[in-house]
Structure 1
Amino acid sequence: MADPLGWDGYTASLAGARERAGTDEAVVCERAKFGVHEAVVIRFEFGFLGGSVGTGTGALIGEALDQARKLRLPVVSLLSTGGTRMQEGVPALRQLQRIARGLALLREEGLPHIAVARHPTTGGVWASLGADADVVLAVPGAQVGFAGRRVREERYADDPAYTAENQYAAGYVDELVTEDVLDERLEAWLGLLTGGARNRPADLPRALGALDSARDGWHAVQRARSADRPRAGAYLDDYFDTRASLRGGTDDGVLCGIGNRAGRSVAYAAQSGTATTPGGFRTATRLIRLADRLGLPVLTLVDTPGAAADPAAETAGAGNAIAELFGTVAAAGVPITTLVIGEGGSGGALAFCSADRIWLTPDACFSVIAPELAARILKRGPGGIPALAGKLKPRPEDLLGLGAIDGIAGSEPVSFVR
């Protein structure tokens, strides 16, 4: 249905677009290699009617997604589009549903999809083929957003909200990539997304801090909170050969991504010592769901005084975000390995934990509640805090004796494969 609305002059416009762009439609779909990794590529041609999606465009994208499933190949979408083709009306608009269905089937097959937002990437294509990809890359300086420049109010025409940089800052783009290194980054990401081993748990990292036991519960808490102790970044650098970050929220205290360890991909979600916000819990949820679809084992590193408890966190749905992460961990079909590397503070820490593989470093602690908060609840003064810390039994040795954890990490990593 090349001209469903009988739009005056549209047939001539299509012919002119084909001649100028040198393509039959606004997308070109082909198989390509990025290093050793083959993928089905959906490449938009902005010179063809602004890269807009019509019925023919939707058919080509649908066929490309079908082909990827049949060949068991990942998909790379190189976007540059103004959205849906006005001259084809609602039949063109409904191609977005066709695209969404194709992507859903791709996810069901455990095949990854990487989208690259180039200049411009707006409208329904960003809201279907772009923003919901497993990994979203964007070219710096590109216009990226749902509302294109000509459909938003003039006062917002050059607002920085509609840029790749803003989408990255807000957590909706995972990485900003310049065109000259795009192929290199796609090769790296494809290797990470396809290098999993579903049934093999991630190795346990080695302990990087103090290996001696804490004198008592209060000493354990103080040592876990020390600014001098190794944090998540140090553990991730020590554990992985290479790694790449995924976003999804605006909590810089939660680090999520996929890394390569001895030739194998492992997904990670790590707290880095701050109170975890709803955005941090949602980023971890996104990461674990992606890992589960792609068959990647998961490593979580726990280090937080607890979930953020300020009014902003409540307004953002702290309880809902924690519940969602608890449910995602419980439902995951891939193995999850947890190492508590600092303070394990109540439910905000436990939400990041594996259900069957929790270890602590010797200089970490884990408690049902912070001793200061326990003192507040029990109406005891500051002088009673150290004794309460001991009663909560937060030391690794205490927790192992209670059967609440599986072990204490040492100076060497532990493999769970026998």
Structure 2
Amino acid sequence: MTDGAHALIDQLTEDFVEFDPPAEPFGPSGPLDWDGYDLSRARATERTGTTESAICGRGTVGETPAVLIAFEFRFLGGSVGTGTGARIVHAFDHARVHGLPVVSLVATGGTRMQEGVLSLRQLQLITRAAVRLRESGLPHVAVLRDPATGGVWASLGAGADIVLALDGAQIGFAGRRVRRPEHADDPAYTAAAQHAAGHVDEVLTDLPARLAEWLTLLRGTPADPVEIPRALGALTPATDGWHAVRRARAPARPRATAYLDDYFDTRLPIRGDRAGGVDDGMLCGIGRRHGHSVAFAAQTGTATTPAGFRTASRLVRLADRLGLPVLTLVDTPGAAADPDAERAGAGPAIAELFAAVAAARVPVTTLVIGEGGSGGALALCSADRVWITPDAYFSVIAPELAAAILKRPPADVPELAGRLRLRPEDLRELGVVHGIAGP
């Protein structure tokens, strides 16, 4: 079971000040006048030292002032009642008015049975307050403790901008007591499984340092266009189009990880499309460079799946809300085109990313670092700030596929690569890219 709320708060901040709680909307027996409810609450208060299942206040985490919402699981299983909902809504409103991020430290079994549907409705009220915070350009980080189940996970937890989980935590919409017996201990309801499915960004064993780092990275800064990463591979021009293609496909060419390591002082990942999809060939996250935060989405040389496009869309929309500039690194032979990709919505996922980039109010800057294969590459590209490395190419389609479409023999592929004018120098002359990155 999770640590107590007060103990966790003490780990995270030294200057926590609890908010005065709003007036209780109902008496000790609650809105349903539930027999024995007042005694249960009194015993919970005696056991925990708090009068509700959530402790809300303000403190500094690392170097970032924030509003903290810490659930006390020992108070009626961390369940949300009307009094809890009022406290959480007040905390979000305080954060919005004072321009502070919110950290939700979630440990709950869900909504409170003794308050009926009025308890359930708190999820709507809390979500509305969280949406108002989001519309103000302020971040919300959820930390899932053990357990994090029920409607609170499916609203306050899963709806956060960044979702972190403590290693070993039980996480799921269905709490253990309401699952079928054969599913009671299924590994799907674990932090590791939720991370594997892309519903959790990171699983942590050391929360304080990592949470402080996330809050630093999520600070919006003046959204000027970012610097172009330096080229890490071959610097000489390709001799012809086919040479450009072969060099971009070379196994030894520097990939996205090398570029991200070289560019950022530190970076943390954003994982998954929040619909059960993960594409490890699309690296997304937020990094720190020269004291400024930059959001990034980087292809790693594989065919991008619908989950990859949707994760990149999520990243771009988050950066736009927080005022973070975006860097995209393009390296893909194209979008995944197999039946699984079609069933997963390849077309809609690509369209979603095109729209996210087009709608972004923050500057998006692109560097093509390898293969630029058709629409699967273009979807990740800025509309007005695109550069390319000397050992990369960009094409309307791969030369081999162009030969197939034009009913040309394989022997014609090298000649077609030249006619497609896909070399960096050709692309600069055509106005497709603004320049070629240097060392």
TM-score per shorter chain, which class?
A: over 0.9
- Identify the residue that residue 6 of structure 1 maps to in structure 2: 33
- Identify the residue that residue 74 of structure 1 maps to in structure 2: 101
- Identify the residue that residue 435 of structure 2 maps to in structure 1: 407
- Matched position secondary structure for 2:361: coil
Q: Residue type of the partner of 1:32?
A: G
C-alpha distance in 2 between matches for 1:32 and 1:161: 34
Q: After the TM superposition, which residues 275-354 of structure 1 pair with which residues of structure 2 at under 5 Å, given as runs?
A: 275-354=303-382
Superposed CA offset, 1:7-57 (max 9, x none):
221111111111111101000001111121110000000000000000000
Q: Residue type of the partner of 1:259?
A: G
C-alpha distance in 1 between matches for 2:69 and 2:281: 35
1:201 counterpart = 2:190: no
C-alpha distance in 1 between matches for 2:38 and 2:212: 39
C-alpha distance in 1 between matches for 2:226 and 2:248: 24
Q: Residue type of the partner of 1:186?
A: L
Q: After the TM superposition, which residues 44-123 of structure 1 pair with which residues of structure 2 at under 5 Å, given as runs?
A: 44-123=71-150
Q: How many positions carry a matched residue from both structures?
A: 408
1:139 counterpart = 2:163: no
Superposed CA offset, 1:62-90 (max 9, x none):
00000001111100000100000011010
1:260 counterpart = 2:288: yes
- Identify the residue that residue 238 of structure 2 maps to in structure 1: 214
Q: Residue type of the partner of 2:242?
A: W
Moved more, 115-124 or 189-198: 189-198
Tell me, yes or no, if the aligned pair for 1:297 and 1:334 is still in contact at 8 Å: yes
- Identify the residue that residue 412 of structure 2 maps to in structure 1: 384
- Matched position secondary structure for 2:215: helix
- Identify the residue that residue 208 of structure 2 maps to in structure 1: 183
| Shift in Å, 1:195 | 4.6
Superposed CA offset, 1:301-356 (max 9, x none):
00000000000000000000000000000000000000000000000000000010
- Matched position secondary structure for 2:329: strand
Superposed CA offset, 1:99-152 (max 9, x none):
110010000110011000000000011011101111110011110011100011
List gaps (5 residues or longer) in structure 2: 1-25
Q: Residue type of the partner of 2:207?
A: L
- Identify the residue that residue 414 of structure 1 maps to in structure 2: none
Superposed CA offset, 1:354-411 (max 9, x none):
0100000011000000011011111111101111111111101001111111111111
| Shift in Å, 1:59 | 0.2
| Shift in Å, 1:196 | 2.5
Tell me, yes or no, if the aligned pair for 1:78 and 1:118 is still in contact at 8 Å: yes
Moved more, 325-334 or 6-15: 6-15
C-alpha distance in 1 between matches for 2:327 and 2:57: 35
- Matched position secondary structure for 1:104: helix
Tell me, yes or no, if the aligned pair for 1:32 and 1:41 is still in contact at 8 Å: yes
| Shift in Å, 1:197 | 2.0
Instruction: Calculate percent identity across the aligned residue pairs.
Output: 70
- Matched position secondary structure for 1:185: helix
- Matched position secondary structure for 1:167: helix
- Identify the residue that residue 130 of structure 1 maps to in structure 2: 157
TM-score (norm 1): 0.97
Q: Residue type of the partner of 2:428?
A: L
Q: Residue type of the partner of 1:228?
A: A
Structure of higher RCO (CA pairs closer than 8 Å, 6+ residues apart): 1
| Shift in Å, 1:192 | 0.3
Q: Residue type of the partner of 1:219?
A: H
List gaps (5 residues or longer) in structure 1: 412-418
C-alpha distance in 1 between matches for 2:410 and 2:198: 40
Tell me, yes or no, if the aligned pair for 1:196 and 1:266 is still in contact at 8 Å: no
- Identify the residue that residue 264 of structure 2 maps to in structure 1: 240
C-alpha distance in 1 between matches for 2:241 and 2:392: 11
Tell me, yes or no, if the aligned pair for 1:244 and 1:257 is still in contact at 8 Å: yes
TM-score (norm 2): 0.92
- Identify the residue that residue 70 of structure 2 maps to in structure 1: 43
- Measured on the aligned residues, the alpha-carbon RMSD in Å equals 0.7
1:15 counterpart = 2:39: no
- Identify the residue that residue 416 of structure 1 maps to in structure 2: none
- Identify the residue that residue 297 of structure 2 maps to in structure 1: 269
